[in-house]
Structure formats: C-alpha cells, structure tokens
Chains A and B, each alone.
Chain A
Amino acid sequence: DAKTTQPTSMDCAEGRAANLPCNHSTISGNEYVYWYRQIHSQGPQYIIHGLKNNETNEMASLIITEDRKSSTLILPHATLRDTAVYYCIVRVEYNFNKFYFGSGTKLNVKP
C-alpha cells in the first residue's frame, strides 16, 4: 500500500552529498513524509520527517517541494557507513497509524 516512488539504487562518492529523491504525487494534506534507512540485517533507523517545511537534524536534511508531490533527503557528507536502503514513507502523523514500506533506494557510498 506504499504511496511513494524511489529509484532502485544510487551511488555516491564518500564525502560528497547524497541526494535521494522520492515521489509522492498522491500525498494528502495531512500526510507527513518520513525517511528511514536500513543497514543490512538490522532494524530500520528513523532519520527525519516533515510536513511541508524543510527540516534538518544531525543526520540529514529533508527538502519538500512546494506542491508536496516530491521530496529529497540530503546526507551532506556521505560516509561508507551510510550505505543502506533508504525508505520514504508518507502517512498521517498519528500515534497508531501504520507504516507501509515501499521498495526503497539502495545507496552505495563508494570510497
């Protein structure tokens, strides 16, 4: 029941910014955009989420277009440890609302 589209894979050079796109053209007005990542054989890790304004935290920045139909997760200085599958999810910010995962983007950070 995923509502997002992401590229299957991307490469990024170590130390450079990684920009991961996500399309969510059917997003509703009360749905937030969440980003998670999953390093091999681990549980997913929360990165960031936002509604319509750009957001930044210690891990990443989230840029949401004005029409909210797409967003970009930015890892400013990618390291080898950022190699993972990145998932973009849209959902209502409600405590008991479910998260459905799409196929995500495999980010390969290369030396």
Chain B
Amino acid sequence: GAVVSQHPSWVICKSGTSVKIECRSLDFQATTMFWYRQFPKQSLMLMATSNEGSKATYEQGVEKDKFLINHASLTLSTLTVTSAHPEDSSFYICSAPGAAGELFFGEGSRLTVL
C-alpha cells in the first residue's frame, strides 16, 4: 500500500514554544490530507482537513489559530502547534487517501509539552 511518513516521531518542547510536524506521502500525490489527534486510551479525533493550495478546514471545536496547517505541495502537509501548552501533549497522526478510497496513515508524532 501507499506510504505516509511523519516527522518527527517524538518531540519534547517547552511550554509557549511552537512545534512543526511534517506529513509526507512518499509514493503518491495527495491533494487532501487529514490530521488526527489521539489522547491516551482514547480513539482518534479528526482535527482538520488539509487541502493542497487552499486553506485547511477544521472540525468543530478545533482552534485554527492554534493548529496551523499548510499544504504547500502534493506530497507535504505540515501541522504547527503554536504556543504549545501541556494540554496539547498528544499523539498527532496524519493520513492521506489512496486510489480506492482507503486512508493511509503515518506513524504518528508524539508531542510532549513540558
């Protein structure tokens, strides 16, 4: 299947700083990517849809100024957690749709904010 890669896998940052997470589709183009967040022992929660060349669309309750999404090319979407706080500590996962409608997921990025 198609491969989606995220970087970094782990990141620790101080409160108040910003953190960027990259999501790449390695062997296919993705005009759309999805970003999820997962807290411990919970399911995945869809945060936003990243659209190549246009603004991201956010799910209800997700702060767009807090979670900046940029989809500058057909293979790269980035999520920036701005002014991170401990409550933003979570597992962030990106995904991209394949040709048959299935979603391929990245390995996830674990953010810890001290």
Q: Decide if A and B are genuine partners.
A: yes
**Interfacial residues, chain A to chain B (CB-CB below 8 A):** 32, 34, 36, 38, 41-46, 49, 87, 93-104
Contact check, A101 vs B103: say whether CB atoms are below 8 A apart.
Answer: no
A-B contacts, 5 of them at CB < 8 A, read: A36-B105, A49-B102, A93-B100, A98-B46, A98-B49
Q: Which residues of B are found within 8 Å of A94, using beta-carbon distances?
A: 101
**Interfacial residues, chain B to chain A (CB-CB below 8 A):** 1, 4, 6, 31-32, 34, 36, 43-46, 49, 91, 93, 95, 97, 100-108, 110
Q: Which residues of B are found within 8 Å of A99, using beta-carbon distances?
A: 34, 46, 95, 103
Contact check, B106 vs A101: say whether CB atoms are below 8 A apart.
Answer: no
Contact check, B43 vs A46: say whether CB atoms are below 8 A apart.
Answer: no
Shortest Cβ gap from A33 to chain B (Å): 12
**CA of A44 to CA of B105, assembled, Å:** 6
Q: Which residues of A are found within 8 Å of B49, using beta-carbon distances?
A: 96, 98
Q: Which residues of A are found within 8 Å of B97, using beta-carbon distances?
A: 95-96
Q: Which residues of A are found within 8 Å of B36, using beta-carbon distances?
A: 101
Shortest Cβ gap from B11 to chain A (Å): 14
